[in-house]
């Protein structure tokens, strides 16, 4: 299985990355994708806050290894021809892409399920730290969401 795992500050081109993933591989019958974007609001507990920017930090080397392990597990569970995971770090602005997950397989079910699995597990297992800057200039670190933990637990329980 081919894999491309990157952590970078630069934006990525979804169309270009999708074309690169499947180029010349005629065994691929399906490509599933997920693109996460910086949204203008976030809910922390019962509070709803507008966001001006988001900064993502990571632990270089450790982050890539964690992403590689997540892809390994996906490749054990589904028959995949190729996977791309690109995660951005640094300061990101509203509407900018944060993360791209592409999975390629012979059939759509494996592509869909593995793409969702990688994203769900990435949210809880990859060492990224998120800080939001609010319009008034204040900043806050964002904790993991309970819903992310539940999504990951569902996969890890064998569902």
Cα–Cα distance, 2 to 57 (Å, whole number)? 27
**According to the CATH classification, is domain 2-156 in 3.90.1170.40?**
yes
pLDDT of residue 143: 80
Q: Kindly state the tokens that stand for 2.
A: 């081919």
Name the band, by pLDDT with cuts 50, 70 and 90, for residue 43: low
C-alpha distance from residue 24 to each of 6, 9, 83 (Å)? 22, 28, 15
Lowest mean pLDDT among 47-61, 73-87, 136-150: 136-150
- pTM above the 0.85 mark? yes
C-alpha distance from residue 60 to each of 7, 84, 99 (Å)? 8, 18, 16
**pLDDT tens across 108-145, in order?**
999 999 999 999 999 999 999 999 998 899 998 888 77
Domain borders along the chain are 2-156
């Amino acid at each position: 299985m081919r894999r491309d795992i990157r952590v970078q500050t630069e934006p990525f081109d979804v169309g270009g990355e999708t074309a690169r993933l499947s180029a010349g591989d005629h065994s691929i019958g399906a490509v599933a994708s997920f693109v996460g974007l910086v949204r203008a609001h976030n809910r922390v507990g019962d509070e709803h806050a507008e966001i001006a920017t988001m900064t993502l930090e990571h632990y270089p080397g450790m982050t890539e290894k964690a992403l590689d392990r997540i892809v390994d597990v996906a490749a054990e569970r589904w028959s995949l021809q190729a996977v791309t995971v690109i995660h951005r770090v640094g300061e990101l602005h509203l509407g900018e892409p944060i993360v791209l997950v592409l999975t390629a397989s012979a059939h759509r079910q494996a592509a869909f399920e593995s793409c969702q699995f990688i994203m769900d597990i990435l949210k809880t297992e990859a060492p990224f730290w998120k800080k939001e800057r609010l319009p008034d200039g204040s900043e806050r670190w964002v904790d993991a969401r309970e819903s992310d933990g539940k999504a990951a637990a569902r996969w890890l329980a064998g569902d």
